[in-house]
Amino acid sequence: MSPQTIVIKIGTSSLTQATGQIAIATIASLVETLCSLRRDGHKVILVSSGAVGVGCLRLNMPERPKKIALKQAVAAVGQGRLMRIYDDLFSNLAQPIAQVLLTRRELMERTSYVNASNTFAALLELGVIPIVNENDTIAVEELKFGDNDTLSALVASLTQADWLFLLTDVDKLYSADPRVVPDAKPIELVNNSEFKQLQVEAGSRGSQWGTGGMATKLAAARIATASGVRTVITQGKQPENISKILAGSAIGTQFEPQHSTENARKRWIAYGLIPMGKLYLDAGAVKAICQKGKSLLPAGITNVEGDFSVSDAVKLCDESGQEVARGLVNYNSTEVRKIQGHHSDKIALILGYETEETVVHRDNLVVKD
């Protein structure tokens, strides 16, 4: 196999035992696998949960804290311990690593997004394995990734990875939770058309120590595959399966990637930003945007939701509320409410000035599949 860029996400449930103790054997096996992939010439990124769980263990806390300030403090304790474990194990195999802590804010600001991309590229070129986690110590609730499944998908998109492995506490995706429904059907391969119609009972609850359930993994798979990244859900306690899957073994559940023609800026708009509002469009505007590659003009807007500023991301929805596209606005929410439904040549008359004839230009717009 030619050298690939591979992102591996491992969750807290795989890094810890049922007692909350660190699963050193699993971590050691993971480290050996990643070092083997590096020796084969692959570029490897590890997205690792566990800072809060390890912090709880260090502080003898019986359960994950719920208050954000306490959780951030515990994460600060745990992150250092977690990196010490990784550094000791990787150093034994002479593999350099780097710690990369991200918040959603870094990916929302275009310059920071580009800087993060350049940093990852430089680390991978040096043969380093970046170990990524959300910066829980400073992330505010409204700007959190929510879980490292989402973070790993965004990192895979940012680095234009070939593979994303989501290591979890089940061996593959099932039609329902096999721990609750014994006759749940296993799903081995999901292609693009099947993904859109995929119906599974994917509970949002994670383990006692983690935040991600199967629903978050499916959401992450949608982000990654839309960016052209083949995604796999497989058993975290057996990280050696990664090499077997790369060699062609049918282990876990694979999601086929879409053919992605989006450039880095369009991927940033689609996945890096948090939409600050919604614009509802009439049928003509939806057709112009989705089928004809046109910009959004004020005449096609029927309703406005949210409070947003110029250059914020917004969802573009049809009249039923279904999101059809996402883009960066040229006017704030107050201005859009004034000019909605009017032709562009009326903007200057209504507002007293005119900056753009479009509300969202097609270069700043990404149509949803």
- Domain 5-266 belongs to what topology? Carbamate kinase (3.40.1160)
pLDDT of residue 64: 82
Let me know: does 123 contact 98? Beta carbons within 8 Å. yes
Q: Please provide the distance, in angstroms rounded to a whole number, between the alpha carbons at the two ends of the chain.
A: 30
pTM here is: 0.83
Residue 164 pairs in a beta bridge with 7, 231
- 343: tokens are 């032709």
Nearest in space to 285 (alpha carbons), one of 295, 275, 277, 276: 295
The two tokens of residue 275 are 């939409």
The reported pLDDT for the residue numbered 209 is 32
Q: What gap in Å lies between CA 307 and CA 213, rounded to an integer?
A: 31
User: At which residue do the structure tokens 């769980």 appear?
Assistant: 53
- Helix and strand tally (H, E) in the chain? 14, 15
Q: Does residue 287 sit in helix, strand or coil?
A: helix
**Residue 196, exposed/middle/buried by CB under 10 A (0-12, 13-18, 19+)?**
exposed
- HSE-up of residue 290 (Cα within 13 Å, Cβ side): 17
List the structure tokens of 192. 């693009």
Helix (H) / strand (E) element for 254: namely strand 253-255
- Do 275-367 and 5-266 fall under one CATH topology? no
Strand-strand pairing, 277-281 and 313-317 = parallel
The helix or strand, by DSSP H or E, that contains position 101, with its residue range, turns out to be strand 97-102
For residue 195, the Cα-to-chain-centroid distance in whole angstroms is 17
* Spatial distance between the Cα atoms of 238 and 5, rounded to a whole number of angstroms: 20
Domain 275-367 has CATH 1.20.140.10: no
pLDDT less than 50: residues of the chain: 142-143, 204-212
Q: Can you tell me the distance from the alpha carbon of 300 to that of 358, in angstroms, rounded to the nearest whole number?
A: 11
Find tokens 């990404």 and name the residue: 366
What are the helix (H) ranges across the chain?
12-15, 24-39, 51-58, 68-92, 104-108, 110-125, 148-158, 192-197, 214-226, 241-246, 264-267, 283-290, 333-339, 347-351
Token pair of 317, please?
């929805």
Burial tier of 39 (Cβ tally within 10 Å: 0-12, 13-18, 19+): exposed
Helix (H, G, I), strand (E, B), or coil: what is residue 232? strand
Q: What is the pLDDT of residue 260?
A: 65
The CA-atom distances, in angstroms, between 44 and each of 92, 109, 112 are: 18, 25, 22
Residue ranges per structural domain of the chain? 5-266, 275-367
Distance CA 97, CA 7 (A): 14
